[in-house]
Structure 1
Amino acid sequence: MRAPYWVALMCLVLAVPVATVSFRMLTEIYFNQAASRADDTLGLAVSALQGQLDRYRKLPQLLAELQDIRDLAANPGDADKIVSANAYLEATSDLLEASDIYVMTGDGTTIAASNHASEASFIGETFDYRPYFTDAIAGRDGSFFALGTTSLRRGYYFSAPIINADRIDGVLAIKVDIDAIENSWRSGDTEIIVSDPEGIIFMSGRSEWLFASLEPLTQERLDRTGQTRRYADAELVELPAALTRTKQGHSLLSFLDGDPAPEYLSVSQPMPEAGWTVRVLLDASPARAEALITTLLLLSAMAVVTMGVIVWMQRRMRLAERLAMQAEAREQLERRVAERTTDLGLANSRLEAEVVERRNAEEKLRKTQADLVQAGKLAALGQMSAALSHEFNQPLAAVRSYADSALVMIDRDRTGEVRQYVERIGGLTEKMTTISRHLSNFARKPGEQLRPVDLDPIVADALAILDWRVRDQVIVVTTDLADCPLAQAGSVRLQQVLVNILSNAFDAIEGREKREVAIAARQLDGRIALTVADTGPGVPAGVIDRIFDPFFSTKGVGRGLGLGLSISYNIVKDFGGDLTVRNAPAGGAVFTILLEPAESRELEPAQ
């Protein structure tokens, strides 16, 4: 038999075990995925149930400590107290959204209830057989889930003893309705059931499963349930289902009354405080169907690969028969390959040279950009020189005046007044030092590395540099940076961007009646948006798309090179962010700096 047919026969023999093993493994994989979804649903269901119960757990104790309730328990025959208690319990039940609230005497007889006016009133009913009553009358907080013997409605009961002078006179109980939670389970592709310690289902999105047991109803279980009349006169039946486990530990609940029998993947979680077990049932048939489809696709792929191998082997056999006739053609091909290799080597050498040249050009471009950034800062400092000279000359003149006055006071032996002049000289010196420090930080070349930075001090430093303009133009500047997270940027370069944008804003509102600038920061779509809005005329529609171009300026001759916004745009791009401008509906321009939030909480050190 020729080789291709051997390959086909081997693949045919291996197909059955491969399909069997693949189906088993894929079934477990899809079961794992389904179990993960069911676990999420289970966690939500348990949280909802636990939250509903915790909401009412401490309320009986609080209500039992009320003086009116204690007086009623001590005087159960007082009609006036009963009427007052009925009205109070009814109002409290509506407020707390509880099903029922009622007060029982020491023998379990109900003397006051929130449902006193309804047909199914608890007044006069005796509940001494309920565990929540026996626990409370013994001095403990009680809880119990049951079907009401009077209302025939399911609920969870919480109870607390009513104590007067170390004497237990009665019990206060609250019944919580959980139908709202159960109704929310009636949608979706999962079934949620809750069973009691005896395995009896008392909560389910499917009404036919209620009061059915997942385990055999032995006489012992029936007796324990009957003692507390947990389900009143409801008929308890065994659910026709079998619980099995896979080799991977997944629980499968199969119902035996269907054709085909429904099968569910079951995940469960106990609620020890309530004595419940919550189960989420997810239909297992989609997982098995997906495993079957994937197995069939795998077999199809094996068939395609087998056919490909057979075709390849046939071609190899035919090729071997023609090798002798193709020796000359092969030699010619090898020569052509050698020539092509030589050409590719030359082309590769030229490409490497172009790459080196491109890298050099990019390095020069980065250096030129950095020089432009520095030049822009120095140009800004030059434009501010006259105002800064005024900022320094005034304190210097005052220092000289205070110094002369101090000398005169010393000559006159009035040393007490000399201290005041020296303190004023110190304050003016500190003011000049602060201005100098801001200008020094602004003028230095920043580092390239991006780190987490706090926007608040950067905005403060930028405003300090331009403080002379704020005071000179009488500008109202407002800031809103509350609860803004750290941004990924460089502090010095971001400060330059703010100085450029604020300078443009101050130029825009110069000479206008309303001179206001607003600086704000907020989170926007996972990024940090730092905005600068002014009350100027806004950006003309014809130039708004070109405002970040190099050497483009709307200012007059001699008022800048048109590089400030272009440099700022490139700096923000280096941060991985974006710089945009728009006109506000009420007038004025709004510049927005979009920055990435910092991944760590360590602030950038001073650059």
Structure 2
Amino acid sequence: MNAQRRRIFLFTGGLALATVLAGALSVPSLERHYLRQQAEQDGPLLELAKESLSAALDRYAPLPALIAERASLADLLAAPPDAALLAEVNEDLRQTALMVQASDVFLMDISGRTIAAATYREPGSFIDRNFSHQSYFMNAREGALTSFQVSGTTTGERGYYYAAPVEEGDRIVGVLAVKFNIQAFNSVWNGAGSEFMVSDANGFVLMSSRPDWHFRAMRPLTDTTRRVIAQNLQYPIDRIELLPINKIALDDTAQLVSFAETSGESYVMTSTALPQRGWVMTSLTPTGPARLMALKLLLILGLTGLLLFGALLSYLLKQARQREALVREQGAKRLLEATVDERTADLQKALEHLKSTQTDLIQAGKLTGLGQMSAALSHEFNQPLAAVKTYADNARAFLKRDRIAEAQDNITRISRMVDRMASISAHLRNFARRPQQAAGPLLLNQVVQDALAVFDVRLATTGGRIDYTPPAGEVWVIGGHVRLQQVIVNMLNNALDAMEGQDDQVVSLRVDGPRITVWDNGPGIDPAALDQLFDPFFTTKPPGKGLGLGLSISYNIVTDFGGMMTAANHPDGGAIFVVTLQPAQAMRTAAE
């Protein structure tokens, strides 16, 4: 090897070594970048889990006040001990607990002593136990509706309590409390790829997707805090263990954490507050995928650099060989040029393959994140669940009156609602791909009537009015019954949400041939938001009021049917949404 070639190899080798060292030094920064990116992706999922948990807890909040209105409770509290009345109240509370799936429903007198309970038959019943020290009792005794979380100091069962005052005229004579097992609320994060935990203001873990994190404190408890916990009997103070956790800040909202009792297990931690309850919900996503992405990118850059160094070395050697070729035969020069061309072609192919691979990795990451979001979505089930509850109550009332036909009709409606929820679940799983359910001719009149039947539940509770006159004749369009019904319910929901707080809430619903029009008398749509209205996760509602998926899902459903969905501000005020579908007769004629 001559001196010139030796210098070339020393130069490229030194440059390659410097690049390798720079890549090694950049690994922590690159890894931190992907960890922060993972934290940003976890944000919407964490908010969704937070809203789902809040909805699950709030669903039971009105129960104590409703039960406390029963006259028998005030009679039992006001009268001297009456064995027959006590037995009647105990059994009534037991049946109520079974119906609402509560752990216990119990009645306390004004001193805090439990005089009746749903668990009166069980050895661990609360009867004759005094809860005057509990904050939920004290608040309810003052006339406030209240809730409180307690981890049982005896059984270890994590309970959530709702309480309401029992009144006789203008006097509060007792307190009615409903207890639910917190384990029942853990389903809000089933199917997610992350771990979740909920902690209180003291850092005590109330709920978690990991059972070994229950009854653990995320930070050492002060003596003052321990005295308050022991006084309220809120947690089993003798069983509170510290959850050893090491934290490294990634940015203002995310941290890299690891647990001392696990080997090599680390997570990206993001948190959000539940201010109404003084809780904090935390999402912990394994760092493996983010670190794998960093290593993949580093590998791609390394391979690219290796190819570039190869090309550089080839070029320098080419120059050396060209100078040597001045004194050699022309044939050796042609052979050298052919070799360089071959290597350049290989380099171009490799670069194209790397670009294609990088594009596939980005798309796969997007679809994975969207699939995780779809697994946790629950807001689409609220209306069918409310309808099922109403029909179930109606059926029970009809059965008590021996009105069998009406009860059977309500049970049939419940079955339809269950079928609807199962179909909606399948549609949400298919949000990121084209649905497999084929569209076909269907009667639009019936779809609208079914959607209004579901929506009657919201109108009965929140007010508002739907101005709708059925079309004179049958209107046949191309679509799917359940998915088109979902579109109509979403449009009506958005219309009433836009008019929240107004005295006169009227939604105009019109069916003109294959065209459905929904027009509200609200404030209208911000012109700047019109272009983004159908984008996923875009919403103009306040935080906690929506995720921005309803209109995006509806838009995709209508597009799958070969139709078109538009939104605009009506000249007379309010927002107007128009869905134009394909007429079924036109499709049949085209097929012939």
- TM-score bracket, shorter-length normalisation: 0.5 to 0.7
Letter in 1 for 2:117: A
Shift in CA distance, 76/138, structure 1 to aligned 2, threshold 3 Å: farther
Deviations 1:380-405 (A, max 9, x none): xxxxxxxxxxxxxxxxxxxxxxxxxx
Shift of 1:30: 2.3
Alpha-carbon separation, structure 1, partners of 2:146 and 2:89: 22
Which residue of structure 1 aligns with residue 403 of structure 2?
A: none
Shift of 1:73: 2.5
Secondary structure at the aligned position of 2:184 is classed as helix
Letter in 2 for 1:212: R
Which residue of structure 1 aligns with residue 244 of structure 2?
A: 240
Matched, 1:156 2:175: no
Which residue of structure 2 aligns with residue 18 of structure 1?
A: 23
Secondary structure at the aligned position of 1:146 is classed as strand
Which residue of structure 1 aligns with residue 213 of structure 2?
A: 209
Letter in 1 for 2:53: L
Alpha-carbon separation, structure 2, partners of 1:233 and 1:76: 38
Matched, 1:525 2:528: no
Q: Following TM superposition, where does structure 1 have runs of at least 4 consecutive aligned residues deviating by more than 4 angstroms?
A: 183-188, 320-326, 481-487, 577-582
Shift in CA distance, 5/580, structure 1 to aligned 2, threshold 3 Å: farther
Secondary structure at the aligned position of 1:199 is classed as coil
Secondary structure at the aligned position of 1:129 is classed as coil
Matched, 1:131 2:129: no
Residues 120 and 150, structure 1, Cα contact 8 Å, conserved in 2: no
Which residue of structure 2 aligns with residue 105 of structure 1?
A: 109
Shift of 1:211: 0.9
Alpha-carbon separation, structure 1, partners of 2:297 and 2:87: 71
Deviations 1:112-142 (A, max 9, x none): 1111122221211111111101111122222
Secondary structure at the aligned position of 1:192 is classed as strand
Shift of 1:483: 7.3
Secondary structure at the aligned position of 2:123 is classed as coil
Letter in 2 for 1:218: T
Which residue of structure 1 aligns with residue 283 of structure 2?
A: 280
Residues 159 and 173, structure 1, Cα contact 8 Å, conserved in 2: yes
Shift of 1:151: 5.0
Which residue of structure 2 aligns with residue 225 of structure 1?
A: 229
Shift of 1:227: 1.6
Decide which of 144, 151, 159 is 2:148's aligned counterpart.
Answer: 144
Task: Quote the sequence identity (%).
Answer: 30
In the superposition, the TM-score normalised over structure 2's length comes to: 0.54
Q: How does 1:419-434 map to 2 (within 5 A)?
A: none
Decide which of 585, 589, 592 is 1:591's aligned counterpart.
Answer: 589
Shift of 1:160: 1.1
Alpha-carbon separation, structure 2, partners of 1:76 and 1:234: 40
Shift in CA distance, 133/32, structure 1 to aligned 2, threshold 3 Å: same
Alpha-carbon separation, structure 2, partners of 1:152 and 1:234: 11
Which residue of structure 2 aligns with residue 253 of structure 1?
A: 257
Alpha-carbon separation, structure 1, partners of 2:252 and 2:21: 23
Letter in 2 for 1:16: L
CA RMSD, Structure 1 to Structure 2 (Å): 3.5
Alpha-carbon separation, structure 1, partners of 2:263 and 2:221: 25
Secondary structure at the aligned position of 2:221 is classed as coil
Residues 193 and 205, structure 1, Cα contact 8 Å, conserved in 2: yes
Alpha-carbon separation, structure 2, partners of 1:294 and 1:90: 61
In the superposition, the TM-score normalised over structure 1's length comes to: 0.53
Shift of 1:186: 6.6
Which residue of structure 1 aligns with residue 428 of structure 2?
A: none
Deviations 1:315-340 (A, max 9, x none): 134335658999xx9xxxxxxxxxxx
Letter in 2 for 1:279: T
Shift in CA distance, 217/204, structure 1 to aligned 2, threshold 3 Å: same
Alpha-carbon separation, structure 1, partners of 2:80 and 2:285: 52
Alpha-carbon separation, structure 2, partners of 1:94 and 1:147: 22
Alpha-carbon separation, structure 2, partners of 1:284 and 1:54: 33
Q: How does 1:154-553 map to 2 (within 5 A)?
A: 154-182=158-186, 185=189, 189-232=193-236, 235-247=239-251, 250-260=254-264, 262-319=265-322, 479-480=475-476, 482=511, 525-528=560-563
Secondary structure at the aligned position of 1:265 is classed as strand
Alpha-carbon separation, structure 1, partners of 2:280 and 2:325: 75
Shift of 1:197: 1.4
Alpha-carbon separation, structure 2, partners of 1:478 and 1:289: 58
- Looking at CA atoms only, which structure, 1 or 2, has the larger radius of gyration? 1
Alpha-carbon separation, structure 2, partners of 1:12 and 1:137: 76
Shift in CA distance, 58/206, structure 1 to aligned 2, threshold 3 Å: same
Alpha-carbon separation, structure 2, partners of 1:4 and 1:159: 81
Secondary structure at the aligned position of 2:132 is classed as coil
Q: How does 1:64-143 map to 2 (within 5 A)?
A: 64-75=68-79, 77-143=81-147
Shift of 1:32: 3.4
Shift of 1:591: 1.9
Shift of 1:309: 0.9
Letter in 2 for 1:281: L
Secondary structure at the aligned position of 2:143 is classed as coil
